[in-house]
Structure 1
Amino acid sequence: MTEASVPEVQIDSVELGRRSGAIMRTGLMMLEAGTASYRVKQAMSAVGESLGVEQVHEQVTLTEITLTSRLGHRFRTEVAEIRRAGVNADRIAALDRFRRELPEKTTPGDIHRALDAIERKPARYSPLLNAAAAGAACGGFAALNQAHIIEILVVFLSAGAGQYVRRHLAHKGFNALGTTMIAAFLATGLYLGVLGLIGLVGHGLEVHASGYISSVLFLLPGFALITGTLDMAKLDFSAGLTRVAFGLMIVMGAGVAVWALSLMSSLDTSQREVTLALWVQIIVWAVGSFVGVAGFAFMFNSPPRMALNAAWIGMVAYVARHLLQELDVPIQMATAIACILIGILAAIFSSGGRWPVITLQVPAALVQIPGVPAHEAIVALNEADYTAAVSGILQVLLAGIAILVGLVIAKLMTDWEWSFER
């Protein structure tokens, strides 16, 4: 008699344990890849149904899963934990495809073999290419924040070096907050050092905040903050609050390093004159946002087509936001509208299960974060101008809320399965 044909009445605790183990492993792999709690639970339930488990109940946080599986009068509860909270868009897509293609009936052995194949797949890009993607993403940000060419090149170098060290420490299992602070110190320190060396052999350069802040934007915890918000919108506070808390911890860790090193050099926050015609400025917005989003997507280990689609979405939304601002629409409203557009376009580009929506949304939304208020807040803190510092922080906070609200509204409009409790 084959494993799949064992009558339900003959299934003992050992067999239930095998099925529960396959369900738990699916959830842990999805959680470690960085996807939202809702998708983790959806995949675990799908595997449980395919294995013939009558009821599957999951409790998911950022690093832990509690699972109860019931079959007949038998039930099993187990708890598992992961110690790394990373992002792997390629694995998210592979696991989502695995969930969608599950047969009506399967066995724990089949599940483990499929998961083994996904787990064995190496990262798509080498550490150097991953670092170059981070450098390109931050360089795109710098261009959007009106940095000069030499500053953009130094940002590329500094951010790339920071990401290379960050990835190495993360793979060694070093503490996440410590990794963030070391990477931020390295990126900002290298930025200041290279500009200083250029000043020794040529014309001195003012250290403008646009390039300085852009050099650490590869540390933005976009997946944690956005998936956490979507989880809380589903009233899943155990997952959502832990994700948002983790994201804020990473932001504060990077912020401490940025603030500390900024004390060593005066930052210029003066508004740089924009003398370009509108059509030329639109080209700058388009190219800068496309490169920035593509860089983030490749840094998240996205396949090339996925990364380029995210870049197109981010470019359209970013240009749309600035055109709305040209029409005197407040920045928060323009940002929310742009993020609604991101969510709708991501749903269209991912239709039919082509890619998970979240892998397109997050990179596209990251370039919506306003850089100038963040620059001004850092400098104001150094100068003890707390009124200006609070003003800058509030502007960043309101823009962040607008990003999250826009993505939630788009989710309500495009994903009926997510919108309704069943």
Structure 2
Amino acid sequence: MTDPRAPLTESLEVLLRFGALMLRAGDTAFRVRDAMHRLAQALGIERLEVELSTVGLTATGWTGGEATTLTRETGPPGVDASKIAALEELSLGAAAGLDTATLGAELDRIEKAAPLHGLLPVALSMAVASTAFSYLNGGDLLATGAAAVSGGIGQAARTLLSRQGFNQFAMTALCAVLASGLYCLIVIGFGVRTFAFAHAIGFISSVLFLVPGFPLVAALLDLTQHQTKAGVTRLFYGVLLTLSAACGMSVVAMLAGLAPAPAAPPPGAIEPLTVLGRALACLAGGYGYGILFNNPHRTVLAVALLSMVGNEVRLGLHDLGLALPQATFFGALAVGLGASLVRGRLHAPRIALTVPSIIMMTPGLFAFQTIVFLNQGKSLAAVEAAATCGFAVGGMAMGLVASRFLTERQWRYER
């Protein structure tokens, strides 16, 4: 006897597969929920309830008085902006009468799509981004060059380990040791025995590629949209990745005997040549991160421009005396508002434009101070540096959230 719920079961299976692919690519849970509801209507499901987290999905569908509940594991998370864009476009273009075979074939095509950028371009992009970050924050020629070499090699190692399915947390720690250790060897090889401010900046720049920007920002966005389960699990995932990188860097900092470097005071004015140099550095760094997250070149260019504008706002306000967290908030707000203007023309998800654009705002020096002070047992100083770092990172995320409240009605009102 044929089960009358078989068609509903097939529809839910393909819907759960779609949702799992979106979550694994790094999209926010509330976007995944919206996309699944659009596809459910196209598949003829009368009502759909979904519960999401980064480790699994559960969906209940109703059709013709019959209800079916299915669950599916998500799998290890990652970041792939091109897959996010393709999956969102698939849901937006779905029309009534869509069948599960057609949807399944489209998912096969998206899942099997090769990365847009190979190992060498991605490694070079991180070398460029590390160079730009070091220059922006005051690294000298030696520190900047060493950061470029170690950052590029570290990213190449991470890509190779990721292709082998290596544990993400162990991989992050190992790559942190590799990149920061190589940086120290290069700098020490040129006769440096005491790390000054510029060398501390280079040390952090060498591991900038390990910053888990996508999961941390996506977690906060989910929490503000009441996707608590997904937001909390993603937040802890991002925090654990950060701790893994910090542990690897701590080992190197301890072996190298690094000392904390004080932050340079704001100049109190904006110099035209400084603005021009920053613009070029931000443009290059944003372009590098756009490639890292597997965006197409048109989107990568938009990311570079947004990074340039946002960082000029942040650094300009900080030069004039505004505290770093508040300046970072306004810089991220500028990025978010800019992304609202261009995402429709590019057919790109907002998160694929905004997150790569704000990574260059990472408060690297205060992260360095936190690690070194903890190694030295100076808990109070470590907490102070960590608080400044945390508020600056929070400013990055909250600036993006504020831009959504200003530009999207669904964020201003509860549903």
TM range (shorter): over 0.9
Q: Residues 270 and 316 of structure 2 are in contact (CA less than 8 Å); yes or no, is this contact kept in structure 1?
A: no
- 1:210 Cα deviation after fit: 0.6
Q: Do the aligned partners of 1:368 and 1:403 also contact (CA within 8 Å) in 2?
A: yes
Q: Identify the residue that residue 315 of structure 2 maps to in structure 1.
A: 322
Map Cα deviations across residues 337-358 of structure 1 (whole Å, 9 max, x no partner): 1111111111111025721111
- The alpha-carbon deviation at position 113 of structure 1 amounts to 1.7
Per-residue CA deviation, residues 364-415 of structure 1 (Å, 9 max, x unaligned), is: 1111221222222233233333222111111001111212221111111112
Spell out the pairing of 1:12-411 with structure 2 (5 A cutoff): 12-199=4-191, 206=195, 208-267=199-258, 269-271=261-263, 278-351=271-344, 354-411=347-404
CA shift for structure 1 position 329: 2.2
Shift of 1:284: 2.2
- What RMSD in Å do the two structures reach over aligned CA positions? 2.1
Whole-Å separation in 1 of the counterparts to 2:378 and 2:301: 42
Residues 87-143 of structure 1: CA distance to partner in whole angstroms, max 9, x if unpaired?
Answer: 001111111111111123211111112222222221011112212222222222111
Post-superposition offset of 1:11: 8.5
Whether the 8 Å contact between 2:266 and 2:321 is mirrored in structure 1 is: no
Answer yes or no: is the 8 Å Cα contact 1:84–1:173 preserved in 2: no
**TM-score (normalizing by structure 2):** 0.93
* Matching residue's letter, 1:100: L
Q: 2 CA distance for matches of 1:356 and 1:95?
A: 10
Q: Is the 8 A contact 1:68 1:78 kept in 2?
A: yes
Return the alpha-carbon distance in structure 2 between the equivalents of residues 274 and 368 of structure 1. Answer: 16
SS across alignment from 1:261: helix
In structure 2, C-alpha distance between the alignment counterparts of 1:130 and 1:329, rounded to whole Å: 35
Worse overlay, 389-398 or 317-326: 317-326
- Is the CA contact (8 Å cut-off) linking 1:195 and 1:205 kept in structure 2? no
- Give the Cα–Cα distance (whole angstroms) in 2 for the partners of residues 167 and 417 of structure 1: 37
Provide Cα deviations, 1:135-157, integer angstroms capped at 9, x if missing partner.
22222211112112232222122
**C-alpha displacement of 1:270:** 4.7
Contact 1:31 1:63 in 2 (8 A): no
SS of the equivalent of 1:183 reads helix
1:253 partner amino acid: S
Q: Kindly indicate whether the alpha-carbon contact (under 8 Å) linking 2:270 and 2:319 is maintained by their aligned counterparts in 1.
A: no
Deviation (angstroms), 1:55: 1.0
Question: What is the SS of the residue equivalent to 2:255?
Answer: coil
Q: 1-side partners of 2:112 and 2:257: how far apart?
A: 48
Shift of 1:176: 1.4
Deviations 1:267-313 (A, max 9, x none): 35255699998111112221222222211110011111111101111
| In structure 2, distance between residues paired with 1:58 and 1:187 | 41
2:367 & 2:12 partners in 1: Cα distance?
A: 47
| Cα distance in 1, alignment partners of residues 346 and 301 from structure 2 | 17
Unpaired segments ≥5 residues, structure 1: 1-9
Q: Which amino acid aligns with 2:351?
A: I
Contact between 2:204 and 2:365, CA under 8 Å: does it hold in 1? no
The separation in 2 between residues aligned to 1:64 and 1:137, in whole angstroms, is 34
Q: Which residue number in structure 2 is paired with residue 5 of structure 1?
A: none
Against the structure 1 CA distance between its residues 279 and 286, is the aligned structure 2 distance closer, same or farther, given a 3 Å change threshold?
same
